[in-house]
Amino acid sequence: MEKHIDTKCVQSGYSPKSGQPRITPIVQSTTFFYENPEQLARLFDLKESGYFYSRLSNPTCAVLEEKVAALEGGKAALATSSGQAAITLAALNVCNCGDHIISSSAIYGGTYNLFDVTLRKLGIETTFISPDSTAEEIEKHIRPQTKLIYGETVSNPAISVLNFEGYSNAAKKHGILFMVDNTLSSPIHCRPILLGADIVIHSSTKYIDGHATSLGGIIVDSGNFDFKGNKRYADFNTPDQSYHGLIYSKDCGELAFITKARAQLMRDIGACMSPFNAFLTNLGCETLHLRMERTSYNALEIAKTLSSHQKIEFVKYPFLSSDANYGKAEKYLNGGAGGMLSFGVKGGKEKALDFIKNLSVVANVTHVADLRSSVIHPASTTHRQLSRQALAEAGISENLIRFSAGIENINDLTKDILSALKKI
Ligand SMILES: Cc1ncc(COP(=O)(O)O)c(C=O)c1O
């Protein structure tokens, strides 16, 4: 029976047998015992499935992987030590020196730096384009070496919505992998695989954990991308000499991408999730559906309250009917746009900072997307290294505040915000 996503949040990934623990156990072991050396050899050869070393796979991490794959409608997943690790491994799984990525420019700053600085140093070039680009606009940038088309469902911090149709059509037409970071929407509000994504990424540090306890990331493979015979992806169609001649597209079928990510890149780079973080993240994920509903409700209410306040210059939230992203939000997001919104306080930076100082329920922290409401002033913190011009290009004005709505009572949040505005 295909279960509702709410039930999957609670139950997917772990079904105890009679007498086993009701709750996912934490298997805090690096290694696993086998009586029979031939069996261990078969595990190394991927001829049999099982655990042998927790860098490659671990039973507690596997529960979380299976759950998030089920939530996203994917075939399999790989848990990583952070969201950044997930994006790095996923990109390196298809890109070598000399290759090319096309990415939306409206992405998390850490990912922007990864593509623009670190991968560039490794000889991988990225062309940044608008999240609104049409398929025709994207196609103009495609090269023989283009291995990846990348975007964020709802972007951090610009809070724009990706034009899935344009990105997906361009990728499909040219047989290029389409990868989407779905962190800020979560599978509750958007399932990118249904909108054409081949690979979905999460910083599970955010909504999936939801309690700000555990850094983590997840790569979900839809199993839909056909690497077999695709000339762009020679590494998937030629023997991997570091893995006794395995040909991923032939030997792993629809699991080619995720098997290569685990067997080759996780083996070599080792940015794996710890079993304890997987336990906490899975526990958090059990209430993802409830938290997303409240978070998105609170964010929209706050956005509406701020929109009509005389001390507020502008508000950005995709489900405000006045927002530039409203049409895309209606088309691609289901039941909410998550908790992040941004707004400008009239009177510039000083007034914005004064506003933050006068909040008491909402805290000033460097985080988004957990169950406690928080704010930050990007121009003096996360984006302080940018020049005035670069800030303007990134859509970050000096008076902009990034707000992440949690799941507290909306009346307490509204009172706190209105009282802080009154004091400035
Ligand atoms: C959309 C998005 N993707 C990726 C990341 C990176 O995740 P992590 O901090 O878990 O490395 C973040 C972090 O804020 C994010 O907001």
Residues of the chain with CATH 3.90.1150.10: 288-422
- Pocket mutation for ligand 1, best pick of 150, 155, 156, 207 (most atoms within 8 Å of C-beta): 156
d(CA 269, CA 172): 30
Tell me the residue type at 334: N
Beta carbon of 217 within 6 Å of any ligand 1 atom: yes
Q: How far is the CA of 63 from the centre of ligand 1 (A)?
A: 22
For 60, the 3-state DSSP assignment is: helix
pLDDT of residue 209: 98
Query: pLDDT tier at 14 (50, 70, 90 boundaries)?
Result: very high
Beta carbon of 108 within 6 Å of any ligand 1 atom: yes
- Region of 399 (left: φ > 0; alpha: ψ -120 to 50; beta: rest) is alpha
Query: pLDDT tier at 389 (50, 70, 90 boundaries)?
Result: confident
b/e code 375-386 from CB counts within 10 Å (16+ = b):
bbbbbeebbeeb
d(CA 105, CA 371): 28
pLDDT of residue 73: 98
pLDDT at 390 over 80: no
- Pocket mutation for ligand 1, best pick of 104, 203, 209 (most atoms within 8 Å of C-beta): 203
pTM: 0.97
Beta carbon of 209 within 6 Å of any ligand 1 atom: no
Residues of the chain with CATH 3.40.640.10: 7-284
d(CA 336, CA 329): 8
d(CA 215, CA 1): 33
Q: Atom 8 (ligand 1): residue with closest C-alpha?
A: 83
- Cite the DSSP H helix spans in 73-122: 83-92, 109-113, 119-121
Tell me the residue type at 368: V
Q: Which CATH architecture has domain 7-284?
A: 3-Layer(aba) Sandwich (3.40)
Q: What is the mean pLDDT of the chain?
A: 96
d(CA 182, CA 156): 11
pLDDT at 100 over 90: yes
> For 268-289, how does the pLDDT look when each residue is reduced to its tens digit (9 = 90+)?
999 999 999 999 999 999 999 9
> For 108-119, how does the pLDDT look when each residue is reduced to its tens digit (9 = 90+)?
989 999 999 999
Per-residue DSSP letter, 4: P
Beta carbons of 421 and 355 less than 8 angstroms apart = yes
pLDDT at 367 over 90: no
Beta carbons of 402 and 375 less than 8 angstroms apart = yes
Cβ neighbors of 204 (< 8 A, separation 6 or more) are 64, 68, 79, 83, 214, 216, 217, 218, 281, 285
> For 308-366, how does the pLDDT look when each residue is reduced to its tens digit (9 = 90+)?
999 999 999 999 999 999 999 999 999 999 999 999 999 999 999 999 999 999 999 98
Q: How far is the CA of 354 from the centre of ligand 1 (A)?
A: 27
Q: How far is the CA of 196 from the centre of ligand 1 (A)?
A: 22
Q: How far is the CA of 154 from the centre of ligand 1 (A)?
A: 12
pLDDT at 120 over 80: yes
pLDDT of residue 386: 72
Residues of the chain above pLDDT 70, percent: 100
User: DSSP letter string over 258-282?
Assistant: HHHIIIIIIHHH--BPPHHHHHHHH
Q: Is 2 exposed, middle or buried (0-12, 13-18, 19+ CB in 10 A)?
A: exposed
pLDDT at 392 over 80: no
**Of 94, 190, 183, 219, residue with least CA distance to 404:** 183
Beta carbon of 153 within 6 Å of any ligand 1 atom: no
Beta carbon of 182 within 6 Å of any ligand 1 atom: no
Beta carbon of 370 within 6 Å of any ligand 1 atom: no
**What length does the chain have?**
424
Beta carbon of 83 within 6 Å of any ligand 1 atom: yes
Which numbered atom of ligand 1 lies nearest the CA of 184? 1
User: DSSP letter string over 171-237?
Assistant: HHHHT-EEEEE-TTTHHHH--GGGGT-SEEEEETTTTTT-SS----EEEEE-S----TT-TT-HHHH
| Token representation of residue 196 | 């054409």
d(CA 205, CA 285): 11
d(CA 62, CA 107): 28
Superfamily of domain 288-422: Aspartate Aminotransferase, domain 1 (3.90.1150.10)
Tell me the residue type at 256: A
Q: Cα–chain-centroid distance for residue 309?
A: 33
| Token representation of residue 285 | 């994920």
